[in-house]
Amino acid sequence: MVDLEESNLQEFVKAVKGLNFKPKIPVPLEDFTDKGKRESWVKEKGMMVFSLFDPRNPYFLLDVFVIEPFDFNKEYKAKREMKSGKVKIPLISLDHLVKMKEKAGRPQDISDVFYLKKIEGEWQNEK
């Protein structure tokens, strides 16, 4: 999830360009920063996420919401963090991730929900 505020999106685009990620659809990466284009994608194509891939590993996809499916600021306050070296990566709560995937309903999301619930159950049993 990325805060869809314009200056934040411009920073996001710089970051993914630095990683050499490319849009899965044939549009310039910068189009993602344009609110009107994102709204058009949702209305005309039913798009929920803007997918990016790594040309060195085309099986790696990064999906970013084109509209905020929840209150970003509220969820950000409830975030958990993961550390990777010196970098802290904010993570959405597992509960909210499952709800988003259930709402999306794509085959991969349904599969993800099954395994996320299984993992959550295993965590609960370890406590």
Asked whether residue 1 falls in the same domain as residue 62, the answer is: yes
Asked whether residue 97 falls in the same domain as residue 120, the answer is: yes
Asked whether residue 35 falls in the same domain as residue 85, the answer is: no
Q: Express each pLDDT in 52-102 by its tens digit.
A: 999 999 888 898 989 887 887 888 888 888 887 888 888 888 888 888 888
Beta strands in 66-116 (DSSP E): 80-84, 87-91
Asked whether residue 111 falls in the same domain as residue 49, the answer is: no
Asked whether residue 64 falls in the same domain as residue 86, the answer is: no
Per-chain mean pLDDT for the chain: 88
DSSP label at residue 33:
G
Q: Distance between CA 56 and CA 80 in Å, rounded?
A: 30
Domain range for 39 is 1-68
Q: Express each pLDDT in 99-115 by its tens digit.
A: 888 887 889 889 999 99
Which whole-number Å values give the CA distances from 116 to 39, 52, 77, 95, in the listed order?
Answer: 30, 23, 22, 9
Is residue 73 in a domain? no
Total domains in the chain come to: 2
In sequence order, what are the beta bridge partners of 54? 57
pLDDT band at 20, cuts 50/70/90? very high
Q: Give Cβ neighbours of residue 56 (< 8 Å, ≥ 6 apart).
A: 20
pTM of the predicted structure, to 2 decimals:
0.72
Place of tokens 């395994």: 115
